[in-house]
Amino acid sequence: MTTTFLSTLESGTAVLTLNRPVRANAFNFEMTNELRNTLAQAEKDSNVRCVVITGAGKVFSAGQDITEMKQGEAISYREHLEKTYNPLILQIRGMGKPVIAAVNGACAGAAFGIALACDLRIAHSSAYFVVGFSGIALAPDSGVSLLLPKYIGLGRAQQYFYSNKPIPAQLGYEWGLVNQVGGYNYQKLVMQIAGELAAGPREAFALGKKAFNGAILPNLEEALHDEGILQDEAGRSAEHREGVAAFLGKRRPKYG
């Protein structure tokens, strides 16, 4: 157990909680590494038959911690993705055990990509999803450019990337982005579904997920690579510098 990440085991389900509430559970390098390491342990642990990823408090995650990214001006976004989110997305899709994103609140940016990579998304009725990247003049990454259109269609994905408007949980359910929506019974619903998966045929689930990956996401690794190249270009732009300055200054950006 650490300050940025919590892990518990309940009836065959490992509940992994992103725990940086004062930073809206935004990912820093430490938390990304902890999540990858804990997922690897869960995959090897015979007592774990299902994994739930959720956020502490009332937020799932705001995505990447921008302040960490801007600490070094020479940072390569492509290299950062190759060390963090790209292998994390591939790891989640490659896990033989079912992985549930229990989206308890706002879910944005790279965290949206993580939720999309999970096998199921169970959302609280007050939760919502934001593509996020265009808010600071970046391109989609963390698999969002591939996974989001798979769930809601290219036109809707582009619309919500351009507008940066939230997708409410109920609308996400109607579009097939969210599997289940819960209100007062949200926590019970998550653990009920996780329990059903934990009691299921583990080997068949693993083979089925492998089949779905091959049929629907055969180019995931290539898409992640391409996202890194495009993000590097976006990250060097004057628009991105203005977007970050506006975000940190809590003002509307001025482009062009």
The reported pTM is 0.95
Buried b (16+ CB within 10 A) or exposed e, 33-50: bbbbebbeebbeeeebbb
- Condensed to tens digits (0 to 9), the pLDDT of residues 148-203 reads 999 999 999 999 999 999 999 999 999 999 999 999 999 999 999 999 999 999 99
- Condensed to tens digits (0 to 9), the pLDDT of residues 208-240 reads 999 999 999 999 999 999 999 999 999 999 999
CA angle 228, 231, 66 (to 5 degrees): 110
CATH superfamily of 5-184: 2-enoyl-CoA Hydratase; Chain A, domain 1 (3.90.226.10)
Which residue in 252, 226, 48, 214 sits closest to 142, CA to CA? 226
pLDDT bracket for residue 1 (50, 70, 90): very low
What does the pLDDT average to over 69-98?
A: 88
Which residues lie closer than 8 Å to 121 by C-beta, 6 or more apart? 100, 101, 103, 115, 172, 177, 178, 179
User: What are the domain boundaries of the chain?
Assistant: 5-184
Structure tokens at 256: 């062009």
- DSSP-derived 3-state class of residue 113: helix
